[in-house]
Amino acid sequence: MTDIIQLLPDHVANQIAAGEVVQRPASVVKELLENAIDAEASEIKLIIKDAGKTLVQVIDNGKGMSVTDARLCFERHATSKIKSAEDLFQLNTKGFRGEALASIAAIAHVELKTKRPDDELGTAIEIEGSKVTSQEVTVTPTGTSVAVKNLFFNIPARRNFLKSDTVELRHITDEFHRVALAHPSIAFAFYHNGSELFNVPQENYRQRVVHIFGAKTNEKLVPVEEETEVLKISGFVGKPEYSKKTKSEQFFFVNQRFIKSPYLNHALSSAFEGLLKDGYHPSYFLNLTVDPKSIDINIHPTKTEIKFDDEHTLYAILRSAVKHSLGQFNIAPVLDFEQQSSFDTPYNYKDKVATAPKIEVDRSFNPFADDKPIERKQSSFQRTAFKQAPTASWESLYVGLESKGNGSDDDFSQVTFESDSKTASVFDENSVETTKTTFQLQQKYIVSTLKSGMLVIDQNRAHQRILYENFLKHITIKEATSQQLLFPLQLHFTPNETKIIEELKEDLEHTGFVFSELNNKEVTITGVPIGVPESEVSIILEQLISDVENDVPDASFSAADLLAKSMAKSLAIKNGQTLNGTEQEHMVNSLFACKEPNVSPTNRPTFITMAVEDIEKKFM
C-alpha cells in the first residue's frame, strides 16, 4: 500500500496560514501598519480602495530593507525579531511570527518597493499567489511601500464571505484607530477612494484621542495616572454622562499593543458601578505598561488576546486607579464636608475673637408669690409694642360664633375646591365605550380575548412592527412631516460616524429629519419627525450608526429598510410602560392593520394565541 501522509506544498501551506492571519482586508491593514511601526517610521500613509477589496497600500518613511531582506520577508517563518524561543517572552515589537507577508502574498497580488537611507536605489518585487513574477532595481523614496491588490483573487469562496463595503471599511477604521491611538508619536494619514478620512500629526496622547474621535471628546476625558511596581497606567476614561450604548470607544493598550480583555473590562465597569444607566458602557483609552516577561502574546493568531501572569493584581490596581480618578475630579459623588459652604466662618467674623456669653439671673423672682410679678426693664420697642394690648378676657374671642354655627348649609355654597391636575391622554376616553376588552399583564403583555381563546401580545415588539411599517411608508412615498425645533440641536460624532449619517441623510430627511449643517465637526438638526422627543434624537442616531456598522444588509435590502428598523427599535414603547385601556386597544387594532402583524421587524413573534382547549388541559 502507498503512504497516506504527505507534506503540503508551500503555496498550500501559505494559504492555510492565511486563513488564520488574514480574515478580511482589515487583517492586512493591521499587519502592514505594524510592520511600518517596527521599521521605526515617523510618517505612515494608509490608502484603501473599495474597502480594501481592490487595494490596501501602506507607505512609510522607515529604515527600509536590503535586496536580500526584501526577498526573504515573503518566506514563511522569516523574521528579524526572534532568534531563540526565549525571545518570545521579551517582545517589544509588533510582528514577530514571520507569517504575515507570506500569508498575504499567497492570496493576493503584492507589490513591494523599499530603500534604505544609505542606498542610492531601491528594490521592487511583484508577487502573485506566492510566485515572484518580477524583481528589479527601482527609484523609490526611503522607506517601504507595500500594495496588496485583489485580495482573495485565488480563493473566490473567501471573497464571497466578505461583507459590504461599509462593514469592511468599519473594520479597517477600527484597526487604524487601534494603531494610531497606540502610537501618538507617529503621524498617520488615511485615504479611502481618494478622499481623506484622517490626517493626524505627531502629538501627545490627549490630542490624538481628540483628533480621532472629534473635538467634543476633549471635555469628556478624565485623566487616569497610576504607577506601581507591577503596572503603570496612563490614559483617560470618559465621564459617565457621555457613556454610549455601544462599546466603540473602549481601548486597552498593553505595551503599545491593542488587546481585548473581558476580565479587565469588568474592572472598568465595576469602577463605574452606580454611575451609568442600564445598557450603557463607559469609554476608556488606557495604556498599561507591564514587564514583557509577565505576559504571553503568542496565544492568539491576531495577537489581540494576551495572557497575564497575575490578572487579579492588575484587576485591583486598575479598578482602584479609575475610581480614584473619578473621585479626584469630582465625577463620582463623595462625602467632603469641606465643600459645605454652611460650615464656613462668615467673612465679618473671620478674624474676631470668640467671647463667652453673659448670663443674667433675676434673683428676686418667686414662682410661688400670688402678687403681680415685678416689672422688668423693657426696651422702648417692647413698651410701645405691648402698650395697646387688649385687656379683655379670653371669653371674648368666642363671642358671635354661636349664631354662625346655627346658620344654613348655604353659607358654604360659594366655596370652591382646587381640582386635581389631569394628565392628558393620547385618546379621548369619552368617545369610546367603557367596556374593557383588554388588560395589561406585568406592564409587558397586552391580553385580549378571542372567540377561540386568548391573545397575548408583546407590546414592545408589536409597537416596533407598527412604527416600522409607518416609517417605511414615509420613506418610500417621501411625504413625511416634521416638527421644527425652537432651538437647533447640535450633535457631535466622530468623522466615521458623520460619514455614515451623510450616506443616510436623504432617507433620514424622508422620515422627517431636517439638517441645517452636516460636516466632520458637528451635525445640526432643526427638525425631527412628529412624535420623536428632542431628547431621543441623539439616541436614535447612535443606534442607527451602530446598526449600520454591525448589521448592514446585503443588496437584497435597502438602507431605507435598515433606517426604518433602527428608528422603530429606538422609539417603540419599552416593557414596563403602563398603557390605559384605550391605548391597549389602539395597539391591538394597529398591529392587525399591519401587512405582517405576526413578526417584529427582526423576525421575532409579536403575539401568541392560547385556545380554550389548551387552557382546559392545564386543569386536568
Q: Are 427 and 586 in contact (CB under 8 A)?
A: yes
DSSP state letter for 281: B
Q: What average pLDDT does this structure show over 380-408?
A: 54
pLDDT at 274 over 60: yes
Strand 284-289 relative to strand 250-254, pairing: parallel
User: Looking at this protein, which amino acid is placed at residue 514?
Assistant: V
Phi-psi region of 596 (alpha: psi -120 to 50; beta: other; left: phi over 0): beta
Q: Which pLDDT band holds residue 521 (cuts at 50, 70, 90)? A: low
What pLDDT does residue 431 have? 41
Position with higher pLDDT, 177 vs 547: 177
Q: Which pLDDT band holds residue 430 (cuts at 50, 70, 90)? A: very low
Q: Is 85 helix (H, G, I), strand (E, B) or coil?
A: helix
Average pLDDT, the chain: 78
**Which grid cell sits at 402?**
354661636
Q: Is 133 helix (H, G, I), strand (E, B) or coil?
A: strand
C-alpha–C-alpha distance, residues 203 and 181, integer Å: 11
C-alpha–C-alpha distance, residues 608 and 614, integer Å: 13
Query: 290-343: per-residue pLDDT in tens?
Result: 887 777 665 555 566 777 777 888 889 999 999 888 888 777 665 555 555 666
User: Looking at this protein, which amino acid is placed at residue 620?
Assistant: M
pLDDT more than 90, % of the chain: 15
User: Looking at this protein, which amino acid is placed at residue 343?
Assistant: F
pLDDT at 222 over 50: yes
Query: Among 104-113, 519-528, 545-554, which is the least confidently predicted range?
Result: 545-554
Angle at 38 between CA 28 and CA 197, to 5 degrees: 50
What pLDDT does residue 190 have? 93
**Which grid cell sits at 217?**
471628546
pLDDT at 611 over 90: no
C-alpha–C-alpha distance, residues 121 and 139, integer Å: 5
**Which grid cell sits at 558?**
435597502
Among the four given CATH numbers 3.90.550.10, 2.60.40.1260, 3.30.1370.100, 3.30.300.30, the one describing domain 439-591: 3.30.1370.100
What pLDDT does residue 415 have? 60
Query: 150-197: per-residue pLDDT in tens?
Result: 988 888 888 888 888 888 888 899 899 999 999 999 999 999 988 888
Among the four given CATH numbers 3.60.140.10, 3.30.565.10, 3.40.50.920, 3.40.50.720, the one describing domain 10-200: 3.30.565.10
Among the four given CATH numbers 3.40.50.1370, 2.30.110.10, 3.10.310.30, 3.30.230.10, the one describing domain 206-328: 3.30.230.10
CB atoms within 10 A of CB 420: 6
Q: Are 436 and 595 in contact (CB under 8 A)?
A: no
Q: Which pLDDT band holds residue 236 (cuts at 50, 70, 90)? A: very high
Same fold, 10-200 and 206-328: no
Looking up cell 444607566, which residue turns up? 277
Q: Is 436 exposed, middle or buried (CB count within 10 Å of its CB: 0-12, 13-18, 19+)? A: exposed
Q: What average pLDDT does this structure show over 481-508?
A: 81
CA dist 469 → 199, 365, 546 (Å): 42, 90, 21
What pLDDT does residue 363 have? 83
Q: Are 22 and 107 in contact (CB under 8 A)?
A: yes
Q: What average pLDDT does this structure show over 4-21?
A: 67
User: 608: which strand partners?
Assistant: 456
**Which grid cell sits at 615?**
387552557
In 3D space, the residue among 147, 188, 197 whose CA is nearest the CA of residue 169 turns out to be 197
In 3D space, the residue among 131, 73, 129, 119 whose CA is nearest the CA of residue 98 turns out to be 73
Position with higher pLDDT, 446 vs 392: 446
In 3D space, the residue among 43, 66, 175, 155 whose CA is nearest the CA of residue 112 turns out to be 66
Q: Which pLDDT band holds residue 279 (cuts at 50, 70, 90)? A: confident
- CB proximity list for 249: less than 8 A, separation 6 or greater: 213, 238, 283, 284, 285
Query: Among 66-70, 435-439, 469-473, which is the least confidently predicted range?
Result: 435-439
Q: How many helices (H) and strands (E) does the chain have?
A: 17, 22
DSSP string covering 161-205:
T---HHHHHHHHHHHHHHHHHH-TTSEEEEEETTEEEEEE-S--H
User: 110: which strand partners?
Assistant: 127, 148
Quote the distance between the C-alpha of residue 287 and its chain's center.
Answer: 20
Q: Which pLDDT band holds residue 411 (cuts at 50, 70, 90)? A: low
C-alpha–C-alpha distance, residues 89 and 96, integer Å: 11
pLDDT at 497 over 60: yes
User: Looking at this protein, which amino acid is placed at residue 179?
Assistant: V
C-alpha–C-alpha distance, residues 356 and 315, integer Å: 56
H-helix or E-strand spanning residue 457: strand 453-458
In 3D space, the residue among 489, 491, 492, 471 whose CA is nearest the CA of residue 481 turns out to be 471
Instruction: Provide the CB-side half-sphere exposure for 313 (13 A, CA).
Output: 10
CA dist 422 → 418, 419, 577, 580 (Å): 12, 9, 19, 14
Instruction: Provide the CB-side half-sphere exposure for 184 (13 A, CA).
Output: 15
DSSP state letter for 431: G
Q: Which pLDDT band holds residue 35 (cuts at 50, 70, 90)? A: confident
Domain boundaries, the chain: 10-200, 206-328, 439-591
pTM recorded for the entire structure? 0.66
Q: What average pLDDT does this structure show over 246-268?
A: 86
**Pseudo-torsion of CA 583, 584, 585, 587, nearest 10°?**
80
Q: For residue 112, which phi and psi values (nearest 5 degrees)?
A: -115, 130
Query: Among 119-123, 276-280, 473-477, 606-610, which is the least confidently predicted range?
Result: 473-477
Q: Is 182 exposed, middle or buried (CB count within 10 Å of its CB: 0-12, 13-18, 19+)? A: buried
Q: Which pLDDT band holds residue 49 (cuts at 50, 70, 90)? A: very high
CB atoms within 10 A of CB 458: 19
Q: For residue 222, which phi and psi values (nearest 5 degrees)?
A: -120, 120
Query: 125-139: per-residue pLDDT in tens?
Result: 999 888 889 999 999
Query: 76-97: per-residue pLDDT in tens?
Result: 766 655 555 555 555 556 654 4
**Which grid cell sits at 287?**
495604556
User: 492: which strand partners?
Assistant: none
Quote the distance between the C-alpha of residue 345 and its chain's center.
Answer: 45
Q: Are 615 and 453 in contact (CB under 8 A)?
A: yes
Q: Which pLDDT band holds residue 70 (cuts at 50, 70, 90)? A: confident
Gyration radius of the chain over CA positions = 37
Q: Are 525 and 516 in contact (CB under 8 A)?
A: yes
C-alpha–C-alpha distance, residues 33 and 512, integer Å: 42
In 3D space, the residue among 177, 172, 210 whose CA is nearest the CA of residue 192 turns out to be 172
